[in-house]
Amino acid sequence: MWKFILYEWKYWLRSPMTWIFLIINTLMVMGAVSSDQVTIGGSIGSVHKNAPYVIQFYYGVMSLVCLLMTTAFMNASANRDFAHDMYQLVFTSPIKKRDYYFGKFIGAVTMAIIPLLGVSLGSLIGPLMPWAQPERYGYAAWNGHLLGIITFAIPNTIIAAVLIYILAIHYRSNIVSFMGSMLILVLYGVSAGFTKDIEKEWLANLLDPFGFHPENIISKYMTIDEKNIHGVALTGAFLINRLVWTGVTLAILVAAYFKFSFSAKCTIKYHRIFTFSPLVPHPF
Amino acid sequence: MILKIDNLNKQYSNGVVALSNVSLAIFSGMFGLLGPNGAGKSSLMRTLATLQDADSGSVMLGEIDVLNNKEEVRKILGYLPQEFGVYPRTSAVELMDHLALLKGFIHKGERREMVAHLLVKANLYEHRKKAVSSYSGGMRQRFGIAQCLIGNPKLVIVDEPTAGLDPGERNRFYNILGEISENVIVILSTHIVQDVKELCTHMAIMDKGKLLFSGNTDDALQQIKGKVWERKVEKAELPKYQNEYKIISSKLTGGKPLIHAFSLTDPGYGFAKAEENLEDVFFANLNDLV
């Protein structure tokens, strides 16, 4: 399996796409952290602009914003052998289906998290900008970065990546993959509207696949001082939500593995012409 | 090692019969599979290369059941598909290294040595650091044969390798192919009669999924010995000849059609005995004359 994971890593670390995405995210978050003109996911009020709570929240919002970036990674990795017509060479090698399927997934999903690290970079660079007002910042605290990565970046990327990977490897079409990711965003928006009114809090907490609802509930009663020092701890409903959704999607990934086959969708193209063509193709 | 194909059948979901009761024994050495486009050559090759399943029949490579024990076959298989692409921005060395890794060569040093050796063999060593996607058609096919030889395969399948190559490149390709050890089964599918004539001792002719002939090339020529007659005709006369004689082929020489007719006896009428060649065998078989 390592040969597939390493190949994806090598491929994406050398690809300009990874670094351009990282720069885009860094610039966006840097803008939000250093000025009031740029906001991500709404105004943050009078909390420090680089408070752990804020950084964790940015990780959450950006993990949604990055859905299309995740799609680009997963779609390209899943389809590379077909898009470049290499599958015949790859599939006639003595490789294991399991290694291929999960190796590519693990390789691509780990790389798809890299652009999100722009949140950390941006919030570290932001306060250093000449136009930034020093009184709006606290110390750079690591807990916000860590919590953001563990509670939002990793699980949300995995959740989106599984769905896109399955679509991509099954349909082998860029359009289906990107439509799929748009659909996830739209459905998420719609369902958020419905679950808002659910009175049973545990259900509402559970039904948000990207984890904002429990994060919101827990942080509702945090004071400004608390938000400046702590992020939203990964406990209780928040922890359950993250575990359930990551677990469910990983189970879907395993289920889809059994439907995946090397020999699906074989096409032969006949478009070569005869090198000598008789004037009478079929004399009799 | 012997590759034994027994009653192989394959029908595609759109109703096209790609293989119909194909039975064939292939021994070590170069074997030519001749047939027009759409004859089922590629279907047969892809089945042998474990890329697609047959509906019924069996294929045994020595002791290995090809249709059911694909992984064992893949360990000793070299396959050059009719068309293949490569990853972008990837040099020949990197791509070969990756493919060798997939073939199961985990040792880095061993891999590097083998890749270098094969690239020298394919005359690509000086271009090894260039992206394969920027290669010319001939270089690309030579890369194809190099990757096909990774790990000393016992069964080498090359599907229409010389289509689109200029004569010089074709010769270079033949030379590399000719150097493959004699103990290896090499199956070369092509619609170019010349390829088979120059490389193969044994051959088969396929059309519309059926096997029309199999045997050695001398036997093939024996089939039509003394039965092929040729004559230069005017273009306008061509339909008349088509009606009156069993025309095997007709091609332009110096702007005029030169027709080959099949006849057990001298047809007279200005026909002269033609030197029989595999092209005539090919067309005589396609047209059900022998």
Name residues 55-84 of chain A within 8 A of B (Cβ): 80, 84
One-letter identity of residue A205: N
Flag whether pLDDT at B126 surpasses 90. yes
Q: Is the minimum CB–CB distance between A38 and chain B shorter than 8 Å?
A: no
- Nearest CB among B37, B49, B251 relative to A272 is that of B37
pLDDT tens profile A171-188? 888 999 999 999 999 988
CATH of region B3-221, choose from 3.40.630.30, 3.40.50.300, 3.90.650.10, 3.40.50.2000: 3.40.50.300
In chain B, where does DSSP find H-type helix?
Answer: 41-48, 70-75, 92-102, 108-121, 137-148, 167-178, 193-199, 217-223, 238-244, 278-286
* SS3 letters across B100-120: HHHCCCCCHHHHHHHHHHHHH
Q: What is the ipTM of this complex?
A: 0.82
User: With contacts defined as CB-CB under 8 Å, which chain B residues touch A9?
Assistant: none
User: With contacts defined as CB-CB under 8 Å, which chain B residues touch A284?
Assistant: 246, 287-288
Cβ contact A278–B104 (<8 Å)? no
Residue A11 is encoded by which pair of tokens? 């491929």
What does the CA dihedral A221, A225, A229, A235 come to, rounded to 10 degrees? -10
User: With contacts defined as CB-CB under 8 Å, which chain A residues touch B163?
Assistant: 272, 275
User: With contacts defined as CB-CB under 8 Å, which chain A residues touch B52?
Assistant: 263, 266
Min CA distance, B69 vs chain A (Å)? 11
Q: Is the minimum CB–CB distance between A266 and chain B shorter than 8 Å?
A: yes
Which of these, B42, B205, B77, lies nearest to B147 by C-alpha position?
Answer: B77
DSSP single-letter state for residue B184:
S
pLDDT score of A253: 96
Q: Lay out the sheet containing B210-216: strands in order across.
A: B77-80, B155-159, B185-190, B29-34, B202-207, B210-216
Region of B209 on the Ramachandran plot (φ > 0 left; ψ -120 to 50 alpha; else beta): left
Helix (H) or strand (E) holding B258: strand B256-262
**Chain A residue nearest residue B163, CA to CA:** A272
Residue B53 near residue B18 (C-beta atoms within 8 A): no
Q: Mean pLDDT across the stretch B242-266? A: 81
**Partners of B56 in the beta sheet?**
B9
B5: helix, strand or coil:
strand
pLDDT tens profile B154-186? 999 998 888 778 888 888 888 888 888 778 999
Q: Which of B90, B102, B285 is the best mutation test for A, with the most CBs of A within 10 A?
A: B102
- Domain segments of chain B as ranges: 3-221, 224-286
pLDDT score of A278: 36
d(CA B23, CA A266): 23
Phi, psi of B156 (to 5 degrees): -115, 125
Q: Is the minimum CB–CB distance between A93 and chain B shorter than 8 Å?
A: yes
Q: Which of A13, A89, A284 is the best mutation test for B, with the most CBs of B within 10 A?
A: A89
Min CA distance, B86 vs chain A (Å)? 6
Which contacts (CB < 8 Å, 24+ apart) does range B121-130 have? B121/B146, B121/B149, B121/B176, B121/B179, B122/B146, B122/B176, B123/B172, B123/B176, B124/B92, B127/B92, B128/B91, B128/B92, B128/B93, B129/B91, B129/B92, B129/B93, B130/B91, B130/B92
Instruction: Work out the mean pLDDT of chain A and round it to a whole number.
Output: 87
Which residue has better confidence, B60 or B276?
Answer: B60
Residue B161 near residue B145 (C-beta atoms within 8 A): yes
**Chain B residue nearest residue A280, CA to CA:** B250
A217: helix, strand or coil:
helix
**C-alpha B1 chain-centroid distance:** 20
Flag whether pLDDT at B238 surpasses 50. yes
Instruction: Work out the mean pLDDT of chain B and round it to a whole number.
Output: 87
Q: Mean pLDDT across the stretch B53-73? A: 92
d(CA B156, CA A268): 20
- How far CA B258 is from CA of A77, B186, B252, in Å, comes to 55, 34, 6
A122: helix, strand or coil:
helix
pLDDT score of B161: 86
d(CA A165, CA A163): 6
Q: Is the minimum CB–CB distance between A278 and chain B shorter than 8 Å?
A: yes
Within 8 A by CB and 6+ apart from A40, the residues are A28, A29, A32, A58, A61, A62, A65
- Any idea which residue has 């273009």 for tokens? B235
Residue B133 class from Cβ within 10 Å (0-12 exposed, 13-18 middle, 19+ buried)? middle
Integer distance in angstroms from the first to the last C-alpha of chain B?
31
Min CA distance, B85 vs chain A (Å)? 5
- Nearest CB among A3, A85, A263 relative to B102 is that of A3
B249: helix, strand or coil:
strand
User: With contacts defined as CB-CB under 8 Å, which chain B residues touch A280?
Assistant: 238, 242, 247, 249-250
pLDDT tens profile A146-173? 999 999 999 999 999 999 999 999 888 8
pLDDT score of A274: 33
d(CA A12, CA A17): 8
Cβ contact A93–B99 (<8 Å)? yes
d(CA B98, CA B223): 47
Flag whether pLDDT at B114 surpasses 90. yes
Q: At what angle do helices B108-121 and B92-102 cross, to 10 degrees?
A: 120
d(CA A81, CA A71): 17
Within 8 A by CB and 6+ apart from B22, the residues are B5, B7, B8, B9, B40, B44, B57, B206, B209, B210, B211
pLDDT score of A263: 64
d(CA A167, CA A77): 12
Q: Is the minimum CB–CB distance between A16 and chain B shorter than 8 Å?
A: no
pLDDT score of B190: 84
Number of Cβ pairs closer than 8 Å across A and B?
101
Q: Is the minimum CB–CB distance between A88 and chain B shorter than 8 Å?
A: yes
Q: Which range among A260-269, B49-58, B84-93 shows the weakest confidence by mean pLDDT?
A: A260-269
Min CA distance, A85 vs chain B (Å)? 5
Q: Which range among A181-190, B13-22, B202-211, B270-279 shows the weakest confidence by mean pLDDT?
A: B270-279
Tell me the HSE value of A65 on the side-chain side, using a 13 A CA sphere: 19
- Nearest CB among B37, B102, B192 relative to A270 is that of B37
In tens digits, what is the pLDDT along chain A, a chain of 284 residues? 889 999 999 999 999 999 999 999 999 999 999 988 888 877 777 888 889 999 999 999 999 999 999 999 999 999 999 888 899 999 999 999 999 999 999 999 999 999 999 999 999 999 999 988 888 888 888 899 999 999 999 999 999 999 999 999 988 889 999 999 999 999 888 888 877 777 788 888 888 899 998 898 888 888 888 888 888 889 888 999 999 999 999 999 999 999 887 764 544 333 333 333 333 334 33
